[in-house]
Amino acid sequence: MKLKRSVKLFFAFVVILSFVISSVAYSQTNSELLIKAGSAYLQAQNAKTVDEEIRIDLRFSLGKNAKEEDKILEEFLKKMYIKTRVVSDIVKQEANMTLSFYYNNKQIITGSIYANKELAVYNFPQIYSKPLYVKLSDAYKNMPVKIDVEKYTKLFDIKANKQLQDLVASYAPVLMPQLTAAAKFSDKKVDVVFSNGKKQSCDEIIFEFNKNSSIEILKTILTKAANDAKTKEFILQVTKLILEDYKAILQSNTQSQEELNIPDFDVNEVMGLINQNYTQTINEAVYSIDELKPQIPPFTLQYRMMIDDKNNLKGERLYFYLKDSNDFKIMIDIKGVINSLNANIKVQKIDISNGADMTKLTEKDIEIMQKNLENILKKLGLPMVGTKM
């Protein structure tokens, strides 16, 4: 349970960090350092094409509570890392991602994923001999309720949604003291090594947060949100969309609703209660954070931006480390190198003429994939007892 809580904690603060930097990018500030970081971040977010290579390292230890199988996994992760290269065309809405797993610096699994507006394709020959594809129209065809995902995409598209831009920017003034304290220039230039082997010397801006500063930022955001009319309007807007879709799903399957003993509800009535209790609920959340603070282990969250002399974002690194009193530890280290932004790129497609439709896979197909994966991991000394795909 601690592992799950810690992973959730990490991703929660990643979301907060993205919100915080976005608030700088979409606002005016007198801090030269924050202007430099915000404009570089905004330029990358608005890019029409992106080519980025990423390396992911993960470490964890259950410390005093570790069992033998936990220690095996711990040692395995020490020698394992993931490399991926994502080439995407935002205008055409298509992307290709090569994904490789390494162990002892040797590639053990490699493959690629391609996706556009119409289909997704997965090609991992070591797992399954044919590319696997799914047409999105087929995936949605058997769904009892057709959820309009586009309405959520548009709502959270900060590049196109002026309402969201203004809302995020409004948080910059209240966050500025914490951001100023967290940001600093590295005292030396750093070399960014691109996928083709070329190097470029860049300035490095570092945002560093710990348990106390992260909690203060979260409390600052919530405190403003509790009494901010525009924030309330946006949250209620999102909540109503979710409730309407949730109700439609329940109504499409009354048997499951009865089996799970889920009561029916009136969306407008629920929205009235949420509207009425909005400020009180968020204020209570702020108080709860203070109560939970002693239970949260110390941690470090660091985000580094590598920026060239033209203020282009060339690399980034997200690092998270947590350790509690029982020596439970988790470390997530994500390094990204941006090969290009807005370049004339070609997104590599995956041929599906000899592929297999994922909606028509048999139990035997699933067993083959499971067996292939187990064999690979067993060769590395990692037992996969009861593995399910």
DSSP notation for 166-195:
HHHHTTHHHHHHHHHHHEEE-SS-EEEE-T
The answer to whether 179 touches 193, Cβ cutoff 8 Å, is no
What pLDDT sits at residue 148?
77
Separation of alpha carbons 95 and 121, rounded Å: 11
Is residue 268 one of the residues assigned to a domain? yes
What CATH number did the domain enclosing 56 receive? Answer: 2.50.20.20
What pLDDT sits at residue 340?
96
Q: What is the pTM of this model?
A: 0.84
Total tally of structural domains belonging to the chain: 1
What pLDDT sits at residue 9?
45
Is residue 389 one of the residues assigned to a domain? no
The answer to whether 85 touches 379, Cβ cutoff 8 Å, is no
Is residue 384 one of the residues assigned to a domain? no
Range of the domain at 47: 2-379
How far separated are the first and last CA of the chain, in Å rounded? 22
**389 residues of the chain, pLDDT tens digit each:** 444 444 444 444 444 555 565 666 655 555 678 888 888 888 888 899 999 999 999 998 888 888 888 888 888 889 999 999 999 999 999 999 999 999 999 999 999 999 998 999 999 999 999 999 998 777 666 666 677 777 888 888 877 888 988 888 898 888 888 888 898 999 899 999 999 999 999 999 999 999 999 999 999 999 999 999 999 999 999 999 988 988 887 777 655 555 556 667 788 998 999 999 999 999 999 999 999 999 999 999 999 999 999 999 999 999 999 999 888 999 999 999 999 999 999 999 999 999 999 989 999 999 999 999 998 888 877 655 444 44
Name the DSSP class of 117: S
**Class of residue 290 by CB neighbours under 10 A (exposed 0-12, middle 13-18, buried 19+):** exposed
The answer to whether 335 touches 304, Cβ cutoff 8 Å, is no
